[in-house]
A and B are shown apart, each in its own frame.
Chain A
Amino acid sequence: MTNDRPTILDSFIHQFHPKKQIVKLLDIEAPSLRGVLDTMFRLTIAALFLAVIFVSLYGTGWTTVDQLPQNIADQSNIKALGVLIFTDFVVPFEILSIVLLSSLIGAIYMAKGDDN
């Protein structure tokens, strides 16, 4: 099996490969002002988003129950979860299974390609 063609995983690993980074370091290219500004701009947007969420989070009085967990003796709620799925939410559950199956079939068909 001598397949020199890089796989999709290679292109991902490529970025962390030390050799590649050294080459990148050697042909020294000062980070362009525009690139730095771009990164700062995006960081600022993310930080502003976070700030807005935090302000609205701490400015709201969330009504919660007094004590957690409600049932001290049995803290696991897996059983109730399963009962709920198979009684109230059985139709969405079945639809979800069909969605998952069809999307996986489609993904495998797309990823298989034509060559094999």
Chain B
Amino acid sequence: MIPLNWYLALSAIVFSIGLYGLMTHKNGIRMLMCVELMLNSANINHVAFSSYNDDMTGQVFALFSIALAAAEAAIGFAILMSIYRMRDMIDVDKLNILRW
């Protein structure tokens, strides 16, 4: 039986990869992918705790969180596409259209 710590360690590693990618890359699509990594590491935690505590609620919550991640990705890509139509680039460092 795999100890619970291994799942949590895997989740921490995946989250750190996502954090590192979010800090280093400025491409909008890459940043969205890194956000997905971080969300999925949270899902790993949910499922691990839920199955190791014999409580199904965590797995239901992980399903909801996956659906919300899908909605977030769809909105994010749509925003990036409309920004690309306007500016011909999606470098988030050079975008200041929300600044007043």
Contacts and interface: CB of A to CB of B under 8 A. Distances in A.
Contacts, number: 106
Contact of B51 (A6, A63, A68, A103): A68
A73 interface: no
Interface of A: 6, 8, 11-12, 15, 39, 42-43, 45-47, 49-50, 53-54, 57-58, 62-65, 67-70, 77, 80-81, 84-85, 89, 92-93, 96, 99-100, 103-104, 106-108, 110-111, 113
Given A45-B23, A84-B56, A111 B78 contact: yes
A44 to B, nearest CB: 10
**Chain B interface secondary structure, helix, strand, loop or mixed?**
helix
A107 B74 contact: yes
B81 A111 contact: yes
A110 B78 contact: yes
B16 A49 contact: yes
A103 B51 CA distance: 31
A106 B75 contact: yes
A46 B12 contact: no
Contacts of B54: 65, 70
Interface in B7-41: 8-9, 12-13, 15-17, 19-20, 23-24, 27, 29
